[in-house]
Amino acid sequence: MRTGTAEMPYEIVRGPVADPYQARVIETYADDPQLWQAVIGPALWFQFGVYAPPERAANADSPESLDASGRRHLERQLDIAGVDISGTRRGRFLDVGFGWGTALEYLARRFPDGPRLDGVNISPAQTQYAARRLSDLSLADRVNLYLCNAQDLWLLPDPGQPYDLVLLRGSITHFSAGALDATLRALASRMAIGGKLIISESLYNIPLDVYTSAVPDDEDRLACGHRKTLNLLVDALMRNSFILQDARKLPTDEDVIHWLRAVRSNIEQILPSGIPKPLKELRDTAINLTAALRENTYSVYSIIASR
């Protein structure tokens, strides 16, 4: 079912099968975006960061911002995937789990006469914010937003116009095993042959049944309870007709620790009391992931696949 009105700056797309985990993900991102901006940066990049080489950072007047490192991370992945943003003038791109619209804004600015941009998100709060953000920047007519569970993206309009590039950056962490397969199956049916899939994801380097966190898992923090390994994700890609082109740790473990330390510091210094539940969960997650990175039981991976 697809619904929408002339007054609503995005469409609502609902599939026939409910996702029981959807409510938990929606709850995670329901708070005021300004609180998140205080913690992860004004531009709201939320998939870690790639930092400048030490020799460049040493000459900087101040520490590199979370915004700059987050943008560099996406740019690095686009380079690895061989996506020539400056020369792109045609096609159709999709950002699955677009957060607060940061990557969509970046892509729209990079090529004003470029391809059609679509975005899918499960969070009403984030979708509403992204719609306002793009409208305020006069980019709304360049981007189509859909409030839609990722497993239902096969219902997006214009199936005869396949996607040439799809971003799945930080979204898979919220997928159950069933939702992951359904999403990849839907993507395979909607992507052009040779189209590129860019993934950035938190993955574990050891069997999940032996992993233990530094801060005990007494709750499902940030709706990331469905942990995954690199092998599990690669197997799911191959099972759904994708060809693996590149898989590497990116950002490096050191850069992820740097990013987590900065975010944790912001939470504890800017919001010393009355921390909202999701940001308290982010602080605890930062503690857990920092410990796991140092033990090499967890890393952030960049994966490039094609149809």
Higher pLDDT, 111 or 76: 76
Mean pLDDT over the full length of the chain: 92
CA–CA gap between residue 15 and residue 138 (Å, rounded): 31
* Fold exhibited by the domain 2-306: Rossmann fold (3.40.50)
CA–CA gap between residue 235 and residue 257 (Å, rounded): 28
CA–CA gap between residue 95 and residue 133 (Å, rounded): 16
Residues facing residue 243 across a β-bridge? 306
pLDDT at position 1: 39
Strand order in the sheet with 298-306: 2-3, 11-13, 143-148, 116-121, 92-96, 163-169, 191-204, 298-306, 243-249
DSSP string, 6-36: TT-SSEEE--SS--TTHHHHHHHT-S-HHHH
Higher pLDDT, 9 or 80: 80
Amino acid identity of residue 257, one-letter, is: I
Longest CA–CA span in the chain (Å) reads 55
pLDDT band at 300 (very low <50, low <70, confident <90, very high): very high
pLDDT tens digits, 29-58: 999 999 999 999 999 999 999 998 874 555
| Cis preceding-peptide flag for 251 (omega within 30 of 0) | yes
Q: Which of 280, 194, 200 is nearest to 241 (CA)?
A: 194
Instruction: Tell me the residue length of the chain.
Output: 307
pTM summary value: 0.94
Beta-carbon neighbour count of residue 260 at 10 Å? 21
Helix 253-270 / helix 277-294 crossing angle, nearest 10 deg: 150
Least trusted range by pLDDT, from 138-147, 201-210, 220-229, 267-276: 267-276
DSSP string, 131-145: HHHHHHTT-GGGEEE
pLDDT at position 2: 38
CA–CA gap between residue 85 and residue 103 (Å, rounded): 13
CA–CA gap between residue 66 and residue 71 (Å, rounded): 9
Contacts of residue 182, defined as CB under 8 A and 6 or more positions apart, other chains included, come to: 151
